[in-house]
Amino acid sequence: MIAMGQGLKNRGYAREDVQERRQAAEEFSSTKLEVTSSYTIDPESARSNIENMIGCIQVPVGYVGPVKVCGEHAEGEFLIPMATTEGALLASVNRGCSLINKSGGANVRVIGDNMTRSPVFRVDDIRHGLDVIDWVGDNIDAIREAAESTTRRGKLLGIEAFPNGRNLYLRFSYSTADAMGMNMCTIATEAAARKIEEATGAVLVSVSGNMCTDKKPAMINMLSGRGKTVLADCLVPSAEVKSRMGAEVDSVVETNYRKNLVGSSMAGSLGQNAHVANMLAAMFIATGQDPAQVVEGSMTSTLCENVDGDLYISVRIPALEVGSVGGGTKLATQSEMLDMMGCRGEGKALKLAEVMAVAVLAGELSTLGAQAAGHLGKAHAELGR
């Protein structure tokens, strides 16, 4: 029996290693893991994605669409894969896709693209901290050289300084090409931070000082963006709102105002939307993104207006952290899902972000319509039980 808890020392990825480890887990827990042992992923391909592999968890995957996307990087009709265990989700998003198609498609643009990492340094006092900031400004080329020496894709875009007493936070921003790039930024920033430490006497406490901010809701990301910042909108004819959603344009606008704007404000929510995390989580799981970063994408704002009798709806996703290479995107099933959208490989990350944003728009449109018409509970009763 393999001892449990060996961690990084036990990284065998032949199928017999996975089987032996699973048998150890079965004996330890007195549980038969028959279904977990049935999978098609080659364990060797998951070497950089997981340790102590014992099998695979299966999540049902379906698709919504085709939906018409009118983007700068994504243009045309797309089927969008979503993996979830929540009944009614795909049906709802699919209805939103149909409404978008009746509107002539959704406009979408990526307006920001940078990944951040923010180390925290301990300085002697505020004067020392300001001296360090000055040194960073005067030596940005040397810092950039140190950071970029660790990566083929990453490019340092800039550094913002945030001093506070004996704490100094430096928020590094990078272009990461088609990778989501979090690990890339961490390695590059650590190299740059060591150079700053040696030259200035500031002490690096942590390569992540939580002003990045990764996998947590944060106003800095809501305003400044992290990963891809994406806008999407469409104008839905009033006749379609009434016939397909059973609601009036003004009732959808009012629902969005009182729910997403006023209700979210009263709750102190970072994000003013109906259920953006739902669509993002399903697409992240299907395409091999980091599901923990759904929390940042959930800070989306959804807006609705009555424009000459028709329904205008838009979403602003401030921190959509996705990639078309690296991480889980290279696993077999996730690669296939990316291929469905033509979003796998080099030069496809911005396209992927645009397609995802349109799916988010579709989900928001459908759910707001269902709530305005009083149909949300009925839909879940019929499809989600």
Q: Which amino acid is at 113?
A: D
Sign of CA dihedral 190, 196, 201, 202: negative
Q: SS3 sequence, 75-125? A: EEEEEEEEECCCCCHHHHHHHHHHHHHHCCCEEEEEEEEEEEECCEEECCC
Is residue 160 flagged as an active site residue? no
Identified catalytic residue from 86, 190, 197, 248:
86
Sign of CA dihedral 189, 191, 194, 196: negative
Q: Which of 349, 95, 361 is nearest to 231 (CA)?
A: 361
202 conformational bin, left if phi > 0, alpha if psi -120 to 50, beta if neither: beta
The SS3 assignment for 5 reads coil
What is the longest distance spanned by two Cα atoms in the chain?
A: 71
Helix 349-373 and helix 238-245, axial crossing angle in degrees, nearest 10: 70
CA–CA separation, 363 and 95 (whole Å): 8
Identified catalytic residue from 20, 250, 290, 305:
290
Is residue 380 flagged as an active site residue? yes
| Strands 106-117, 310-320: pairing kind | unpaired
The burial of 13, by beta-carbon neighbours within 10 Å (0-12 exposed, 13-18 middle, 19 or more buried), is given as middle
CA–CA separation, 144 and 140 (whole Å): 6
CA–CA separation, 45 and 384 (whole Å): 34
CA separation (Å) from 319 to 217, 234, 254, 283?
10, 21, 26, 15
Is residue 128 flagged as an active site residue? no
Neighbours of 334 (CB within 10 A): 24
CA–CA separation, 372 and 300 (whole Å): 20
| Residues annotated catalytic, as ranges | 86, 290, 380
